[in-house]
Amino acid sequence: MSSQRVPIEPQRVDAPLTASATFLVLKVNRTPDSVKTVRSTLAGLDSLAKNVAIRDLSSRFACTVGIGSDIWDDLTGLPRPAELHNFREIKGAKHTAVSTPGDILFHIRSERRDICFEFERQLLDQLAGATTVVDETVGFRYFDVRDLLGFVDGTANPVGPAVPDSVLIAEEDTAAQGGSYIVVQKYTHALSAWKSLSTEQQEKIIGRTKWDNVELDDAESGQKSHKTLNTIEDEQGNEHDILRDNMPFGSPGSGEFGTYFIGYTRRLWVIEKMLERMFIGDPPGLHDQILDFSTPLTGTTFFAPSSSLLASLE
């Protein structure tokens, strides 16, 4: 007698980088009706997505949903993913990775800004009275996928068959299978101070050449580059990647320039190790020098369950 498993369909965490994105973080109002409304909305998200995406099938629309630690039990009633917990503040000698609240993350992506806008409008209409917006950040693609510091962003992302192994939980946590951990941080840049550096100084901090994105060796002083500090190996020497879908945001008129960091990972400890190395330093005291010009305003952790799980919530 053969047994069959319910198919697990991951969310589109590996959707391609688009020209526009909205990062929407919400707090769920703690009432039974609010939780019920949120649960119903998440269960019906595919229908809402189709309603908007049909307007332009070439827009490459995608929406990924992440659920925070504080709301997981009340919202899902399901076993907790093994590593799910609130973002832990990391305090270095000079810089701090702050921890900020958030129950639900919607990572909304499309080649068209109006498609993102319309999906968010209809989504918040459904959630009216049940949630409060904590943060809404609109990102855009900047030339050849560069950040506002002028460097190509996301070069170290896994590609092809390496993506699922880096991003999607498998047999190590059967209750969370097909899901992914998400960490978001909203950074603002002191752009004038950054531009006062020479190109060579900027390249040493990043660990790559600015024009053609070639890797550079670290300085002999022991100060590691941003690239090196974000390269994580386990005790067996195996390197672990994450999938970044970072986007610039800002307004020259208001003097705001920033990068919205969003990392998807199969292993939450990998991103946490990256942040420890950046903010505390490796060795301690030699922090990532990019932090002298980039300040995190937020820090929140979520879990993106499989789309199969989301659809079963109601």
Q: What is the DSSP secondary-structure string of 199-234?
A: HHHHHHHHTB-TTT--B-PPPTTSPPPHHHHT-EE-
Helix, strand, coil share of the chain (percent; to 5): 30, 25, 45
Asked whether the bond before 32 is cis by omega within 30 degrees of 0, the reply is: no
Q: Which two tokens stand for residue 241?
A: 């990647």
| Measured distance CA(7)–CA(72) in Å, rounded | 22
Q: Which two tokens stand for residue 127?
A: 């959630």
Q: Which two tokens stand for residue 79?
A: 């076993």
From the CB of residue 94, how many other CB atoms can be counted at a distance below 10 Å?
Answer: 12
Query: Which sequence positions are flagged as catalytic?
Result: 153
